[in-house]
Structure 1
Amino acid sequence: MSHVPPARLYSTPFLLLCISHALFAASFNIMIPELPSYLEGMGGGEHKGLIIALFTITAGLSRPFSGKLADTVGRMPVMYVGTFACVICGLLYPALHFVAGFLVLRFFHGFSTGFKPTGTSAYVADVVPPGRLGEAMGWLGICFSIGASASPPLGSWMVKYFGGNPDPMFYTSTVLAIASMAILMNLKETVHKKHIFRLELLKVTRDDVYDPLAIPAGIIMIFCYISYGVILTLVPDLSDEVGLTNRGTFFTIFTLSSISTRLFAGKISDRLGRVPVLKASAILIGISMLVFANTATPMMLYLASALFGLGIGIFSPAINAWTVDLGDPARKGRAIATMYIALEIAIGGGAFLGGWYFANDIHRMPAVFYFAAAMSFAGWIYLTVYGKRYAINSSNQQIPESTNQR
């Protein structure tokens, strides 16, 4: 059980965690724009859809374990495991320079996001005031976005600077992960009645896999985040098609746009409720997918990137806070793991289906974006039909009306 959160938001643990999260995001995102061409150079171009899909499969499979361990062993060990996975994988990419080895490594690299974000989100929920949870998730998302946006252009620049050699980029990924882990060492555990780790804790039951109360958040996550998997798989090729020399440019524009909305979107969700904010984000994400489908110039790609960033920036803090609102207060790790399982299903599904249908044929790309747009608009319909079942209580948390005060 975790302690009662303090009254102020900007505590030292929260600020340190934000910095660590930014470095963690930079660690595994630095290589994303270059991986499709890296795999194609090894003769595995037809497997581009697996770059993200394999990563998310492992992340999704590990969520029930990380959620249970975060609630029992503690938040800190879970964060250490996820960050250490980035350290090891960054060192192994240069050694496994063949298609099968690369794909196996992508599979194991997914443990990083299967553990670290689960522990981080649960830790944040422990150390911030409940009435400012949306704002806190907004700041956490901003820091993640800074790391995720600054590193891809750096990775692309490093590959070009070193004559097409990606090894320095991979080693930089490891250095960033080590820095993230070093900052974590300054944080104290927030789970006071924690268990000593034993193998029995790795046995998960149906009750450990997901929190039924958080299912609505998981559903809307799948509808809206399919687009993210599509983007991660197709935008590097789309960037080449429209003539961008640095494949990381999209990520910079997308993230700067996302940062511009995350904080105020989190505050608005604290005041007006999560569902109205999520509905607005679903519309923006859908519109951005339509623009991507019709992109033929760098300027159109910039516009689509900005719109997508606005949509995701509004969506992320609201969905994180909504998950905590809906879930069992005594098992925050399980509720957050439920949301992240849905996230991995969405990103992995979008990446796999997008890559499979695209099949390195640029003329097939628009149809994938239209599909992603349809999914986002379906998410808006879901929230419109079922969102009215949720009310806002005096603590600015949304709960099912049928359960009243849990």
Structure 2
Amino acid sequence: MYTPKFILICVSSLLFSASYNMLIPELPSYLSSMGGAKYIGLIIALFTLTAGISRPFSGKLTDTIGRKPVMLFGAMVCLICGCFYPILTTVYGFLLLRLFHGFSTGFTPTATSTFVSDVVPRERLGEAMGIQGIAFSTGLALGPALGSFIKLYFSYSVLFYSSSMVALLSLVLMMNLKETLPKKEQFRFALLKITRKDIIAWEALPPAIITFLAYIGFGVILTLIPDWSEAVGFVNKGIFFIVFTVSSLLVRFIAGKFSDSYGRIKVIVVGLLLLLTSLFLIGYLNTKSGLMTGAAMYGLAMGVVSPALNAWTIDLSLPEQKGKAMATMYIALEAGIGLGALCSGWYYQETISRIPLIMYSCSGLAFVGIGYILTVKRNIITNI
């Protein structure tokens, strides 16, 4: 399984994740400094809006022109956006750039997951998704911590240009990958015509629904944790993301193997139980140690759920439409993140006392996810 292709895609995934996540902790204060505090919820919501809209296109293109061009396009968007943040210094310019920046995650992760499924043995797919998730999550942890460090000692402009440089490194690694789609087509604008049948892979709907419910909480985390961290006494707003990701890394490898051995659904249920508990604790334990406890458990939860959902999506997909299936799952992911960010930002309004109730609500949605997956379990026919 550990071929040069697989290792290269994992390292590239780490850098890609770090490039845009390193901005997350500092964007709320950056937007507020421009007079846009009331638009904080749009920082994530606009990003995920275009990411979600672009998923049907990225899925179709991944299955037609190839995995590599789709990955490269997303990384190029990250590189360009990092250069433009210091230039577009108005609130509306910033929001427009966030809207465009979302195309990065709308394209690259869809093709990356499909690429991984092409280059690893089928019987080790869960394990492979777990390891690729480790790489992506490492970027998720290192990015915010590095971003906060750069802003603390330098400036916003240095932070934005650093984001572009990391995206460039990811791009260079992607360029050294060999295409894995056997019969690829040349790009033509007709491929951008999307019909209803191109949007959703109905066979992948069950994992997509669970993904939606699970990632609403992630949208809330991205939007509110910087302020919640500051409220409980942390200077570096990226500490939560470090603890969350380290915890996630520790469990992903094992969880991926377990989903290969014991089935995706059993592993997902365990992950959802951890998720509802962690979100409740994040809201209830409003101290430094309490927040870190919640962060650690949240990392365990997402480390268990994420690779199993990715592998389950591939299990249910049609062989020639794996990109479409992954795009369906990612549409649900982006919808969940965007809805969580938008609603929490709208309700929050810089009132710290409202954060616990928001976290409790997300915990309840994880419980709904458990009920759903147990209800439909007997109707799902797979070979796992």
Q: Determine if the TM-score, normalized by the shorter chain, exceeds 0.5.
A: yes
**Residue 136 of structure 1, aligned match among 128, 133, 139:** 128
2:57 maps to which residue?
Answer: 65
Give the Cα separation in 2 of the matches to 1:353 and 1:284. 23
Give the Cα separation in 1 of the matches to 2:71 and 2:199. 19
**Residue 106 of structure 1, aligned match among 75, 87, 98:** 98
2:276 maps to which residue?
Answer: 286
Q: Percent identity?
A: 51
Higher relative helix content: 2
Q: TM-score, normalized by length of structure 1? A: 0.93
Superposed CA offset, 1:300-350 (max 9, x none): 010010010000000110000000001111110000000000000000000
Equivalent positions of 1:28-67 (< 5 A) are: 28-67=20-59
Give the Cα separation in 1 of the matches to 2:382 and 2:103. 35
Q: Which amino acid aligns with 1:115?
A: F
Give the Cα separation in 1 of the matches to 2:212 and 2:140. 21
Give the Cα separation in 2 of the matches to 1:186 and 1:153. 28
Residues 66 and 119, structure 1, Cα contact 8 Å, conserved in 2: yes
Moved more, 293-302 or 60-69: 293-302
Residue 295 of structure 1 deviates from its aligned partner by 2.7
Superposed CA offset, 1:121-149 (max 9, x none): 11111111111000000000000111111
Residues 315 and 382, structure 2, Cα contact 8 Å, conserved in 1: no
**Residue 216 of structure 1, aligned match among 191, 199, 206:** 206
1:203 counterpart = 2:198: no
Superposed CA offset, 1:58-99 (max 9, x none): 000000000000000000000010000000000000001111
Paired positions, count: 384
CA RMSD across the alignment: 0.8
**Residue 107 of structure 2, aligned match among 68, 90, 115:** 115
Residue 364 of structure 1 deviates from its aligned partner by 1.2
Give the Cα separation in 2 of the matches to 1:194 and 1:329. 15
Residue 387 of structure 1 deviates from its aligned partner by 1.8
Residues 17 and 120, structure 1, Cα contact 8 Å, conserved in 2: yes
2:11 maps to which residue?
Answer: 19
Describe the SS at the equivalent of 1:43. Answer: coil
Q: TM-score, normalized by length of structure 2? A: 0.99
Q: Which amino acid aligns with 2:175?
A: M
Residues 49 and 334, structure 2, Cα contact 8 Å, conserved in 1: yes
Q: Which amino acid aligns with 2:227?
A: D
List structure 1 segments (4+ residues) > 2 angstroms apart after TM superposition: 388-393
**Residue 83 of structure 2, aligned match among 91, 95, 115:** 91
Unpaired runs of at least 5, structure 1: 1-8, 398-406
Q: Which amino acid aligns with 1:157?
A: F
Superposed CA offset, 1:45-67 (max 9, x none): 11111000000000000000000
Give the Cα separation in 2 of the matches to 1:11 and 1:280. 31
1:328 counterpart = 2:327: no
Unpaired runs of at least 5, structure 2: none
2:182 maps to which residue?
Answer: 192
1:302 counterpart = 2:292: yes
Give the Cα separation in 2 of the matches to 1:388 and 1:168. 53
Residue 392 of structure 1 deviates from its aligned partner by 5.4
